Amino acid sequence: MLRFLARRLAMALVVLLIVSFTTFVVGHLTGDPVDLIAPENASREAKEDLREHLGLNKPLMVQYGSYVWRALQGDLGFSFVQQAAVSGLIAERLPATLQLALTGFVLSILIAVPLGIFIALNRNTLWDFIATSLAMIGQSAPNFWIGLMLIALFAVQLRLLPVSGYGGVSYIILPAITIALQSAARLTRLMRASMLEVLNADYVRTARSKGLRERSVLWVHSFRNAMIPVVTMAGLELAELIGGAFITETIFAWPGVGRLAVNAVYQRDFPLVQGVVLFAAAAFVVINFLVDLLYVVIDPRVKLS
Amino acid sequence: MSGALLDIADLTVRFQRRGRTIHAVRGLSLRIQPGEVVGLVGESGSGKSVAVMAAARLLDEKLARIEATRLDLDGRPVLDMTRRQLEALRGPVVSYIFQDPLSSLNPVLTVGRQLSEGLRRHRGLSRADARAAALDLLGQVGIPAPELRVAQYPHQASGGMRQRMMIAMALALRPKLLIADEPTTALDVTVQADIIRLVQRIQAEIGMAMIWVTHDLALLARVAGRILVMYGGRIVEDAPSAQLYAAPAHPYTRGLLDSTSRFDVPFRDQQPIPGNPPDPSQVLNACAFEPRCPRATDICRAQLPPLEADATGRSVACFHPLEGGS
Amino acid sequence: MRGFRPAGRDTLGLIGLGILLAAVACALLAPWIAPFEPTAINLPARMRPPFWLEGGSVAHLLGTDNLGRDMLSRVIFGARISLAVGAAAVVVGAAIGSSIGIIAGYFSGWVDLILSVVINAQLSFPFTLLAIFLLATLGGGFWPVVLVLALGTWVNYARVVRGQVMSVKNQDYVHAAVSVGVPTTRLLRTTVLPNTVSPIIVVASFSMAQAILTEAALSFLGVGVDGSNPSWGTMLNDGRAFLQTAWWLTAMPGIAIALTVLGGNLCGDWLQDRFNPKVGG
């Protein structure tokens, strides 16, 4: 188990190194930060002083090293556009993002797991056909477009819910459904496939041959086994929702990290974009690692190998 | 009426697969008396596993269609049973040992859990009593340190140990009929003999009836009192072991004996029966073995040979049986 | 309800192929099948709804936009950009990914280790944000978008090709060929390449769908392909401002995207099923 977790941890660090290096290099391609910060009429000497003050005259790798060192301490840089620390800006927006991501995630699990099991048990029925077709279509339509159509229908035509913004419960319904539908489409298909595979497994036949009640066969001998791949995928989904619901946040004017990033792109606020990318990668890596830990709990084969 | 423990008449099992019908069992009849040990032998694809699975309706009935004029277990018609009745039947009346103990044991449940759940379900034992019974069972099948094993998972044990666990599980409720479907095929040769001896010993202790399903005639010589030979989804010969070995009546049995039981010939020199088994998607109106049979005549191509008993207690489904050990 | 038999795999796959071919036909034949010039402005006829709604007309089947341009024509012409981007991304991604996959699989050792770390790293990272960042900093346009999309999909090819190469490499005839001195490049061409064609086609089918979706998202955020001919994603971005008054400006390009992507996904499922048959429910 320790070996498994150590390998995963090493992988996580490698991912963060690759991502941080990419964002660092791309950040440097965007131009001389000194030009952005210094007043336009600043003298050459003043600029050089500033450069030295910021450590920008040092070799690239040294700069990268201090960038990583500062990031490890929670300093993701300074947004010159917003005149604020990047980590502070992200921390400020994080609660809204978590609120939306977790709501959408719970909603998608509540749809996908029961529905996937139901259609696996009733495979090749009309229900199965309808649900798998809808899931297939849900996976194919652009998610933000589904969000826009939900706005057009429920907010504009029926006037049931607000178009966008942040406030009471009514504001979170449409964006949460939007992100839940996409993730539920994927998870439902996986849950169905996984359940079907388990129901065909030899050990389920053994459970039946012992005369166990069908209820035990399903919940004790099939459900947990079928959840193993679903848990992995659900972890990826959650990570993606936390680090990547930026288009949904944008169209619903949801004041989260994703919208922060999109606005930063528009304002060419590169330190901020860089910081959010790194944050998203970190969220991804951390959640994946938590999923790995969860794996150890639900699959005893991992614990002992 | 017959007093038989398992009484099957004219069993057919068909599967629908990708728009085609697979005829896995095509009119099989057999009777097993209480306490009797029978071998069911045939090539892979002969329908032997499907037939014994159908006996307790373990097949997925969304895919499989089971029909029979009679399918009685312990005097009760299995095909008329509700799901509840079937659940009550499996375990105390009939239980199974499957071929691959690794895939047949649940990887995420402990051995103790899998051993005790049948006892708790059918005998209503408490958690503690079921655990004690599980320990006892592990000891009976020769597993050392049962106290350690109950808390472990199947993948922590060796192949032979796993099959012992499977056997302990199948015997937990002292069933009247034990069906062992190729129980040693997935195991190391060195372990096979141990497992066979173990099952034999426990069968003798409990006095239960047993069906050994295998493709290995040589194995059955040591364990079964009577042997049923299956080909193309039907029984083609049914005879006491000694008689069958000494003088097979069906040409297919002869072929099987020639190809598998010659200890004096190296394995690579043994001759399999030329030709291929019948296509299971075809409907058969003639002898299934006819295309591979050296004795085939016109009548074999025109009619299905019935399984008929002779005076010596042997039944054979052949128009031209081999006479008197020729 | 019991005994209902849904359409078979083949039927669904052929439907998917049909959708893709229809989209390709739209793209190739756009000037001949579109009823109007996609850029022809007709202010008196602006904001017309689709024909089945009150105020709609058969002249503009899918309605018109805020400048009176015909939506049907714009959607048909939009196929050109969206499919061109998707196809180019598939070709570039497949070329990069397959080459790297072959190298990783064939030479094993350190090269393979580094590449599989990179492959795993990329598979566990949300790609779209990085894509936006790259395009916003380095500038958009057709080829930058294609390159970024290829960068997002090459790992899929690399992974399957690497797996195929590893399994082919250990087969006897390859060992035999090596021992008699057949050059490596020729070996790769004659033994490895034929075995990797079918998994590459499967991945390409899914990647095409993925590329069209990502392109739509990028264009929607304004960092996609720019030009006089808008892609479906750009049209979504344009239509969004009129969501309250003219929903069809957003609905129509979205449906076009969803259908095309569905076609790609159905095709991918079908091909995967054909090349790698597995008994399923």
Task: Tell me the pLDDT tens digit for each residue of A51-64.
Answer: 777 777 778 788 88
Tokens of residue B47, six digits: 């329908």
Those residues with Cβ within 8 angstroms of residue B244's Cβ, 6 or more apart along the chain or in another chain = B227, B229, B237, B253, B314
Range in A1-15, B267-281, C65-79 the model is least confident about? B267-281
Cβ contacts of A200 on chain B, cutoff 8 Å: 60
Tell me, rounded to whole angstroms, the distance of Cα B227 from its chain centroid: 11
SS3 for B14? Answer: strand
What pLDDT is recorded for position A107?
96
**Greater pLDDT, B246 or A114:** A114
Cα(C6)–Cα(B212) distance, integer angstroms: 40
**Interface membership of A215 toward B (CB under 8 Å):** no
Cα(B315)–Cα(B42) distance, integer angstroms: 16
Q: Which residue of B has its CA nearest to A122?
A: B62
Instruction: Show which residues on chain B lie within 8 Å of chain A, measured between beta carbons.
Output: 56, 58, 60, 62, 83, 86-92, 95-96, 98, 100, 103-109, 117-118, 121-122, 153, 155-156, 166, 169-170, 172
Tokens of residue A146, six digits: 């589904």
Instruction: Give the global pTM.
Output: 0.86
List the single residue in C5, C124, C130 with the smallest CB-CB distance to A277.
C130
Print pLDDT tens along chain C (281 aa): 334 444 566 788 889 899 999 999 988 988 898 888 888 788 887 788 888 887 777 888 888 888 878 888 888 998 988 999 999 999 999 999 988 888 888 777 777 777 777 776 776 666 777 788 788 777 778 899 999 999 888 888 888 888 888 777 777 777 777 777 777 777 777 777 777 788 888 889 888 888 999 999 888 888 888 767 788 988 888 888 888 888 888 999 999 999 999 999 898 888 887 776 543 33
What pLDDT is recorded for position A189?
92
Neighbours of chain B (3+ CB pairs under 8 A): A
| Contact of B167 with B195, CB cutoff 8 Å | yes
Cα(B25)–Cα(B178) distance, integer angstroms: 21
Instruction: For residue A75, give how far its alpha carbon lies from the nearest alpha carbon of chain B (Å).
Output: 43
What pLDDT is recorded for position C45?
77
Instruction: For residue B156, give how far its alpha carbon lies from the nearest alpha carbon of chain A (Å).
Output: 8
Please answer yes or no on whether C236 and A142 come within 8 Å at the CB atom. Answer: yes
Task: Tell me the pLDDT tens digit for each residue of A184-239.
Answer: 999 999 999 999 999 999 999 999 999 999 999 999 999 999 998 899 889 888 98
% residues pLDDT > 90 (chain B) = 50
Half-sphere exposure of B52 (CA within 13 A, CB side): 28
Convert A14-49 to b/e letters by CB count within 10 Å (16 or more is b). bbbebbbebbbebbbebeebbeeebeeeeeeeebee
Banded model confidence at residue B260, pLDDT cuts 50, 70, 90: low
Range in A25-29, B238-242, B245-249, C267-271 the model is least confident about? A25-29
Q: Which residues pair with B71 in a beta bridge?
A: B8
What pLDDT is recorded for position B168?
92
Cβ contacts of C250 on chain A, cutoff 8 Å: 145, 148-149, 152
What pLDDT is recorded for position C278?
44
Neighbours of chain C (3+ CB pairs under 8 A): A
Residue in A9, A30, A145, A204 to test binding to C, most C beta-carbons within 10 Å:
A145
Q: Which residues pair with B37 in a beta bridge?
A: B210
- Overall size of chain B counted in residues: 326
Cα(B149)–Cα(B143) distance, integer angstroms: 8
Tokens of residue C194, six digits: 């034929």
Cβ contacts of C254 on chain A, cutoff 8 Å: 141-142, 145, 148-149
Rg (CA), chain A: 24
Please answer yes or no on whether C126 and A239 come within 8 Å at the CB atom. Answer: yes
Residue C113 burial (CB count, 10 A):
11
| Contact of C70 with C60, CB cutoff 8 Å | yes
Strands (DSSP E) along chain A, which ranges?
Answer: 78-79, 84-85
Cβ contacts of C7 on chain A, cutoff 8 Å: 129
Task: Tell me the pLDDT tens digit for each residue of B200-240.
Answer: 999 999 899 999 999 888 888 888 889 999 999 999 999 99
Angle (CA) B70-B73-B78 rounded to 5° is 60
Cα(B167)–Cα(B164) distance, integer angstroms: 5
Q: What is the mean pLDDT of chain A?
A: 86
Has residue B303 got a pLDDT over 60?
A: yes
- Reference A243, options A286, A202, A209; nearest CA is A286
Instruction: For residue C39, give how far its alpha carbon lies from the nearest alpha carbon of chain A (Å).
Output: 23
Cα(C72)–Cα(C261) distance, integer angstroms: 19
Task: Tell me the pLDDT tens digit for each residue of B49-88.
Answer: 999 999 999 998 888 999 999 999 999 999 999 999 999 9
Cβ contacts of A197 on chain B, cutoff 8 Å: none
Cα(A203)–Cα(A196) distance, integer angstroms: 13
List the single residue in C5, C125, C251 with the smallest CB-CB distance to A149.
C251
Residue type, A54: L
Residue in A122, A196, A209 to test binding to B, most B beta-carbons within 10 Å:
A209
Please answer yes or no on whether B103 and A221 come within 8 Å at the CB atom. Answer: no
What pLDDT is recorded for position B264?
53
Cα(C229)–Cα(C80) distance, integer angstroms: 9
Q: What is the mean pLDDT of chain B?
A: 88
Has residue A115 got a pLDDT over 90?
A: yes
Please answer yes or no on whether A220 and B117 come within 8 Å at the CB atom. Answer: yes
List the single residue in A126, A262, A288 with the smallest CB-CB distance to C4.
A126
Instruction: For residue A111, give how far its alpha carbon lies from the nearest alpha carbon of chain B (Å).
Output: 25
Residue in C9, C120, C123, C137 to test binding to A, most A beta-carbons within 10 Å:
C137
Task: Tell me the pLDDT tens digit for each residue of A269-290.
Answer: 878 888 888 888 888 888 888 8
Cβ contacts of C244 on chain A, cutoff 8 Å: 156, 163
- Reference A50, options A35, A34, A65, A30; nearest CA is A34
Cα(B165)–Cα(B105) distance, integer angstroms: 9
Banded model confidence at residue A305, pLDDT cuts 50, 70, 90: low
DSSP 8-class letter at B304 = P
Task: Tell me the pLDDT tens digit for each residue of A121-179.
Answer: 998 889 999 999 999 999 899 988 999 999 999 988 888 888 888 888 889 999 999 99
What pLDDT is recorded for position C231?
86
SS3 for B308? Answer: strand
Residue in C120, C133, C147 to test binding to A, most A beta-carbons within 10 Å:
C133
